[in-house]
Amino acid sequence: MPEFPYSRLRRWPDVEADNLQAHDATDLLLVERALALDVPGSETVVIGDEYGAISLALTAAGRRGIRVHQDLATGRRALARNAEELGSGGFTPHELDEGLLAGAQLVLLQLPKALAELEEIADAVARWAAPDVVLVAGGRVKHMTLAQNEVLGRSFARVQAQRAERKSRLLVASEPLPVPESPPFPVTARHGDLVLVAHGGAFAGSRLDIGTRVLLEVLDLGGPQLRRTEVTRAENERNGGESSRSSGVVNGGRRVLDLGCGTGALAASWALAHPRDRVVATDRSAAAVASARATASANGVADRVEVTHDDAGSALAAGSFDTVLLNPPFHLGASVHTGAATRLFEAAARLLRPDGELFTVYNSSLGHRAEMSRLIGPTDQLRRTPKFTVTRTVRRP
């Protein structure tokens, strides 16, 4: 059997750089373990295959009918692109549901960063896969903890850690335990008037992360720049001005985008505070999208908040938003990398109408202000704490 060409895999449309690869040693270990087991492709499930290294290597080896779940829209597009490039097929994409796991004998998992996400996945496997299913989970040793074994142990009677190889390790879980009547996720929490609903893979879970909290405080207080904007728009509407109609405003309200929405805290809060506005929330994480939809419903604003699974708003029309809200990430997987934030700034520049506004919160140690000024337009600081900075950027004409 010819060796699979891992080096030809690309991360696109995710950030690409010399220190970022489309496969790692964990992918290879999972593929090797799967090939050593006599499990048909139709009874094999792959979860968390970032760019297709596991799925495509197995299909190239003749394992057809593999079911695949990827949380990230970027991963889904990369898998499709890599499959086309290599002329490979034989897999079907699924969400994390019964259709993905029904009858599965073997589940291969790239361990997620969040224990809550691992808990939701382990419960789903124990709940829907075959009674004799084997879950093989792998990760880089430096990112693995005993807590991962403990989480798997809540859903499986046997969890065995394998010997580390090439700085990666596999955990083999078998003998699924009885599952509770209801899945452990999503979970719900109230924060004042705001209700957050979160699946395991959503950033910060049902907590209100501190960066979002700072941005919400600034928006709720109505800083001077925001207040001037509100007054100007109100005057334009009273005077029959054209600004609202020419900027894509619906029924006198603004079009607002929560870019990288997570659980939808910003989108739901804005919709609650501004009932005339129409809000779109988008995220590349399927878990975040499911959470944001549930959050919008829990707060009674589902009719005014549209949630989409997308890569940096790539499916949204250019110049179609008056306001963008953004709490950008500073990690790509386990790597600290500002490329993810840059892609979102570029997206905001494309999606905002001329003179539209971007409100951003970010770690004060990062030099995002200069980058936003370069990519989008003049950027002013609204608040700075020892940890976070909130800015307002106006899209240049």
CATH number, domain of 160, equals 3.40.50.150
Same domain for 381 and 248?
yes
pLDDT tens by residue, 300-326: 999 999 999 999 999 999 999 999 999
Same domain for 165 and 222?
no
Residue with tokens 């499930």: 45
Give pLDDT, residue 234.
39
Same domain for 102 and 238?
no
Q: Smallest Cα–Cα separation from 144: which of 170, 166, 120, 125?
A: 170
CB atoms closer than 10 angstroms to residue 135: 25
**CB–CB of 134/122 below 8 Å?**
no
What amino acid occupies position 21? Q
Same domain for 134 and 248?
no
pLDDT tens by residue, 239-249: 333 333 333 33
**CB–CB of 176/187 below 8 Å?**
no
pLDDT tens by residue, 335-347: 444 567 899 999 9
Please tell me the pTM assigned to this model. Answer: 0.88
Higher pLDDT, 109 or 385: 109
Residue 257 DSSP symbol = E
Q: Would residue 1 count as lying in a domain?
A: no
Mean pLDDT confidence for 168-189: 97
Residue 2 DSSP symbol = P
Q: Which of 132, 148, 176 is the last residue of a domain?
A: 176
Same domain for 220 and 319?
yes
Same domain for 113 and 226?
no
Q: Would residue 78 count as lying in a domain?
A: yes
Q: Would residue 181 count as lying in a domain?
A: no
Same domain for 165 and 88?
yes
Residue numbers of the domain that contains 363 = 187-394
